[in-house]
Structure 1
Amino acid sequence: MERVTRWFSDLTGLTYEFVEHLLITLLVLLGLWLLSRITLSIVFRQEKDLRKRYKWRKFTNYTITIIGIILLVNIWLGGLRSVATFLGLLSAGLVLALREPVLNMAAWVFIIWKRPFRVGDRIQVGEYAGDVIDQRLFQFTINEIDGWVDADQATGRIVHIPNLKVFTEPQANYNYGFPFIWNEVTVRITFESNWQRAKAILTEIVQRHCESLSDTALNQVKKQSQQHLIFYENFNPHVYTDVLENGIRLTMRYMCSIMRRRKSEEAIWEDVLKAFATTSDIQFAYPTTRFYTAGESHTSPGTAP
C-alpha cells in the first residue's frame, strides 16, 4: 500500500498524504458498495415480498450512506474533534443558506421516526391525496387520487411532495389506526313515498354490500383502534332518516375497504335502482315547480325551483 501510494504520488505530483487519503477513500467506497450488494443479495434470497424488499433496500442504502459519511469525514479531517468542529460550522451554514433542504432532511427524520405514514398508505397532505409509493431524503411521492376523478380513484399523475410539508400542512392518513373507511350513500325520496318500506329496502342492500368482518378480525380492528384512542363500538351499517325541504333523505352509512369505495357505491346504486323500479309507492325526489290556478295545482317536473 505504501509503495503504491508513493508511486502514484511521484507520478501525479500530488502530496503523499492526499494520495493516501484518496486511495483509502476508494477502498472504503468499494467495501461499502460490496457490503450493500452482499446484504441485499442475502435478504432477497430469503424474502420474496416486494414491499419488504423495498424497505430493506431503503434501510441498507440509508445505513451505508451514514456509515460512509462518518468514515470519509474521519479520513479527510482526521479525528473526532475536527469532525465535531466541521459539523458545527457546516450545520450553521446550512441553516442560513439552505433552509428548505435542511427542513426537508429534518422532516425526513421525523417521518422515519414517528411514522405518520408509510409506503403503501393512502394519505392527504394539503390539497393532494394519494397512495405513498416512495420516501426519500428530500421528498416523498404519491400516486394521486381524486383531482378530476371521483371516489378516490387514481388520476394517473405522480406527485412529489417536499418532506417539510409534514411540518406546515395537515395530514390525513386513511390507514392509520383503522384499516377501513366509513362511506355514505344518500337517497332522496318524495314525501308521498312509503319511506318506511324504502328504509327497509336500503337497509337490506347496504348490509349486503358492506365490509364483512369475522369475529377475530373484528376484535383485531377494535384492539388496533383503541391503541390510538379511536373507539367504534358498532361496525354494522345503518340507514339514517332526516327531512329536507324537497323530500325525505335516507343516508346509508357503511364500512368499506379503502380501495373499494367506488365499486361498493356502484353496486349499491344498481341494487337501489332495480328495487325502486319494481316498487310503485316509492319515488325519487327531484326539483319541481308547482303552478296554482283556481284552487288547482299543476306540477312541472324536472324544472329548477
Structure 2
Amino acid sequence: MSQATDPAAECSPSTRRASKINMAGPFITFTGEQHNLTIGGVKLLGMDQGSVRKLVFTLIFFVFLFALSKLLRWFSHRFGGTRQKTAFWARQGISLTTFLVAVLGFFSIWFDNPARLATGFGLVSAGLAFALQKVVASFAGYFVILRGKTFNVGDRIKMGPVRGDVIALNFMQTVIMEMGETPAEQTESPGMWVEARQYSGRIVTVSNSQIFDDPVYNYSRDFPYIWEEMHFPISFKDDRYRAEAIIRDAITRNTREIANLAEPELARLKERFFITAADINPHSYMRITDNWIEFTFRFLAPVQNVRALKDRISRDIMDGLDAAGIGIASGTYEIVGLPPIRLETDRAG
C-alpha cells in the first residue's frame, strides 16, 4: 500500500517562499531564489527585492531633498532681505549643498561595496570625459565663477558675444538680460537694434564654459563707473574758447556728484590693484581736422543710465551754444554766390 506524499513537503524552503510571494499578486511578483521582480510574467533583469527597496528609498530621499531645498530658498528669500548679493550667495550655497548631499546619498544607497563604487566611478568618469566634455567644462566653469569672483548676479558683463546684466547663474549656464550697443559697435554679432547700453528685452543663456574660451568683461564688479567720451565739432570761424568753456561747464555740472561718489571707490580700487592715478574730473582734448576743430571730452559716468546722462549733457550744451551764437559744425556745403549767366539767341531763328 503506497503512502501519499505532500507536494509542499517535497519543495525546498526557498521554493515555498517564492510560491507564497507569487500568490501575493498576479501581475507584479517576486520569483526565484533571488526574488527577481516580474511584471506580467516578464522578469526584469537586475531588479530584485533589494534593488526595489533602494529605488524606493532613492525616490523618497530625492523628494525630501527637493522639499528641503525649496524650504531653505523660501527662508533665504523671506529673511535675506532685498540685497542681491546676499540672495545670490544664499541660492548658490543651497544649490551646491543640495547637489553634494544628493550625490553622496545616491552613491551611499546604491554602492554599499567600496570596490563596486570605485569601478563604477571610474567608468562614469571616463564616459563623462569623452562624451560630455562641454557639460564637464560648464560645470567646472561654475566653480571658477564662484571661486574666482568673476561676476555676481547684478553685475554688468560681456561674456562671449553677449553683454548685459547677470540675472541668474546655475551649474551649467549664466543667464543675462541683454543690452544694446553703441553705433560704433553695431557691426558686432549678434545683430542689435538698440543704439545704446539699455535693455533690448532678450534674455540670453550662455554656457559657463565660455569663460575658458573668451575674456569676460565686467563693468561693475570692483569699480561701478566707466569713463565716457563725447565729441563736439566746432567751426573755425566760431569762438572755440567760448565753446570749450560752455561744454566743460555743462559736463561738470552734470557729473560733479558722480565724481564725488566715485572718489572713495577709486581709492579702494588703488589699494587692491596696482593701477596708476586716474583723473575723475572732466577733461578736454582738442584736435584740428580739415573741416573743423573737434573737442573730445572725457568724463566719469555710472554703469547704469549712461544714455540719460548724455541726454542731459547734450541738452545743456545746445542751450549754451545757442545762447552764445555758436553752432555745431557739419559736413554740409553752403552756396554763397553764383557766377554771371550769359544767354545767347539765334536771330535768324
Is 1:143–2:177 an aligned residue pair? yes
**In the superposition, relative to structure 1, how do residues 293 and 34 fare at CA in structure 2: closer, same or farther (>3 Å)?**
closer
Alignment of structure 1 residues 122-161 onto 2, 5 Å: 122-146=156-180, 147-161=192-206
**In the superposition, relative to structure 1, how do residues 39 and 127 fare at CA in structure 2: closer, same or farther (>3 Å)?**
closer
- 1:27 Cα deviation from its structure 2 partner: 3.8
Equivalent position amino acid for 2:310 in 1: E
Alignment of structure 1 residues 152-301 onto 2, 5 Å: 152-210=197-255, 212-213=257-258, 218-280=263-325, 282-289=326-333
Is 1:104–2:148 an aligned residue pair? no
Q: Is the 8 A contact 1:36 1:64 kept in 2?
A: yes
Equivalent position amino acid for 1:77 in 2: F
**In the superposition, relative to structure 1, how do residues 103 and 211 fare at CA in structure 2: closer, same or farther (>3 Å)?**
farther
- 1:71 Cα deviation from its structure 2 partner: 1.1
Which residue number in structure 2 is paired with residue 301 of structure 1?
Answer: none
TM-score (norm 1): 0.84
TM-score (norm 2): 0.74
Quote the Cα distance in structure 1 between the aligned partners of 2:255 and 2:279. Answer: 13
**In the superposition, relative to structure 1, how do residues 244 and 204 fare at CA in structure 2: closer, same or farther (>3 Å)?**
same
Which residue number in structure 2 is paired with residue 25 of structure 1?
Answer: 58
Residue 69 of structure 1, aligned match among 76, 83, 103: 103
Quote the Cα distance in structure 2 between the aligned partners of 1:41 and 1:268. Answer: 45
Q: Is the 8 A contact 1:119 1:133 kept in 2?
A: yes
Equivalent position amino acid for 1:151 in 2: A
- 1:249 Cα deviation from its structure 2 partner: 0.8
For residue 120 of structure 1, give the secondary structure of its aligned residue in structure 2.
coil
- 1:111 Cα deviation from its structure 2 partner: 1.3
Is 1:117–2:151 an aligned residue pair? yes
Quote the Cα distance in structure 2 between the aligned partners of 1:128 and 1:41. Answer: 31
Q: Is the 8 A contact 1:149 1:155 kept in 2?
A: yes
**In the superposition, relative to structure 1, how do residues 137 and 96 fare at CA in structure 2: closer, same or farther (>3 Å)?**
same
Structure 1 or 2, whichever has the larger Rg, is 2
Q: Is the 8 A contact 1:189 1:283 kept in 2?
A: yes
Q: Which has the higher contact order (CA 8 A, sep 6+)?
A: 1
Q: Is the 8 A contact 2:229 2:296 kept in 1?
A: yes
Quote the Cα distance in structure 2 between the aligned partners of 1:186 and 1:210. Answer: 17
Contiguous gaps of at least 5 residues in structure 2: 1-20, 31-36, 38-47, 181-191, 340-349
Contiguous gaps of at least 5 residues in structure 1: 1-6, 296-305
Q: Is the 8 A contact 2:174 2:207 kept in 1?
A: yes
Which residue number in structure 1 is paired with residue 119 of structure 2?
Answer: 85
Quote the Cα distance in structure 2 between the aligned partners of 1:105 and 1:33. Answer: 20
Superposition RMSD in Å: 2.8
Greater displacement, 90-99 / 256-265? 90-99
Greater displacement, 209-218 / 153-162? 209-218
Quote the Cα distance in structure 2 between the aligned partners of 1:135 and 1:38. Answer: 20
State the identity as a percent.
29
Residue 49 of structure 2, aligned match among 1, 16, 21: 16
**In the superposition, relative to structure 1, how do residues 109 and 18 fare at CA in structure 2: closer, same or farther (>3 Å)?**
same
Greater displacement, 159-168 / 231-240? 231-240
Q: Is the 8 A contact 2:258 2:301 kept in 1?
A: no
Is 1:94–2:94 an aligned residue pair? no
- 1:250 Cα deviation from its structure 2 partner: 0.9
Q: Is the 8 A contact 2:259 2:281 kept in 1?
A: no
**In the superposition, relative to structure 1, how do residues 110 and 219 fare at CA in structure 2: closer, same or farther (>3 Å)?**
same
Quote the Cα distance in structure 2 between the aligned partners of 1:211 and 1:119. Answer: 29
Deviation readout 1:30-82 (Å, 9 max, x if unpaired): 44234334433443442221623354233212211221111111210124443
Deviation readout 1:158-213 (Å, 9 max, x if unpaired): 11111111111222110132110111111000112111111111111110111525
Deviation readout 1:115-147 (Å, 9 max, x if unpaired): 211111111123321111111222111111112
- 1:284 Cα deviation from its structure 2 partner: 1.7
Quote the Cα distance in structure 2 between the aligned partners of 1:63 and 1:151. Answer: 40
Q: Is the 8 A contact 2:258 2:302 kept in 1?
A: no
Tell me the matched-pair count.
287
Deviation readout 1:78-104 (Å, 9 max, x if unpaired): 244433332222121112112222221
Equivalent position amino acid for 1:19 in 2: V
